[in-house]
Amino acid sequence: MMKSPVLLITYRRYDTTKRVFQSIKRAQPPVLYFASNGPKPAHAKEVSEVAQVRSLISEVDWPCEVKTLIRDEHLDVKASVAGAIDWFFAHEPEGIVLEDDCLPAVDFYRFCDDMLERFREVDQVSVISGVCRQPVGFEAPSSYYFSKYVHIWGWATWRRTWDLYDRDLSFWPHWQNSPQWKTLFRHRHEERYWRSRFDSTFRGDTVTWDYQLMASVWRARGLTLTPAVNLVSNIGFGDGATFTKNTENPLSAAPTFPIYPLTHPAALVTNDAADEFDFEYRFNGRLERFPHRYARRIGKWVQKRVFDPLYVRLRGH
């Protein structure tokens, strides 16, 4: 029997939400928080889609306290997801967070239960992830390792971590010039990559909620506990997704594996080799290296100065 409450964040994708809900149903958490974003105005199809997703609440048939956050208005992903997590941790000291396209393996729930309890009083451990993005054949000396990277396709944490969260990255202008910021990165192109992402998020050009969590955890010198095998499959790649549209991505519907029995790492230190692979190939940070960065700049210059004017002239005829 599970011990941890679960927050399920939903919108309008019934097929993926149904599969995630069935996974939760098998795990039988004692408390289920169900957050539902509202349909976009003047989108009649979304009204029925959202209603269908909300009908899943009636399928809770195990001993469970159900709490709902049903929004009439549509909020962007930043306000919707962060607001739902605010609501969750206003009521719970710890718990599991799932979005409607993050399908956990059976072991995920037990793993989160065990890790939430084991590291409850260890402030350095900020987040428990269910995702392992390492290549096939990755071998870790234990069942999980510690990473600086926060992955949120199925995760768990404590209120103490979420209390650090700054939705607007208000600390960014000062923090980016701090000595701590410089010590976070092993390579200049990694620092440049994350500076660009946080700049864009702070300005509001990138409307998301998870970069803020990454920055908030880093600022607190926190670590993410990461399984050495994948425990959550993102089944939401495609046209209906907000960000993950490329179904050819190797992370799309990645397989999951059993993790028990557990072996525990000897120390709270990051696995730098795993983090470097994660940055270079999962965040595509290698494209910030020379000559990729300059090739992109040249491509943008050619697009702006040659192809765009040509297209405008052709349309004029």
Domains of the chain: 6-283 (3.90.550.10)
Which residue is it, tokens 């910021």? 181
pLDDT digits (tens), the chain, 317 positions: 899 999 999 999 999 999 999 999 999 999 999 999 999 988 889 999 999 999 999 999 999 999 999 999 999 999 999 999 999 999 999 999 999 999 999 999 999 999 999 999 999 999 999 999 998 789 899 999 999 999 999 999 999 999 999 999 999 999 999 999 989 998 999 999 999 999 999 999 999 999 999 999 999 999 999 999 999 999 987 666 555 555 566 777 899 999 999 999 999 999 999 999 999 998 989 887 655 444 455 555 556 666 566 655 666 64
CB neighbour class for 115 (10 Å; exposed up to 12, middle 13-18, buried from 19)? buried
| Strand-pair partners of 34 | 8, 68
pTM recorded for the entire structure: 0.88
Contacts with 230 (C-beta within 8 Å, 6 or more apart), sequence order: 105, 130, 131, 132, 133, 254, 255, 256, 257
Structure tokens at 5: 């409450």
With CA atoms as reference, report the closest residue to 24 among 103, 82, 94. 103
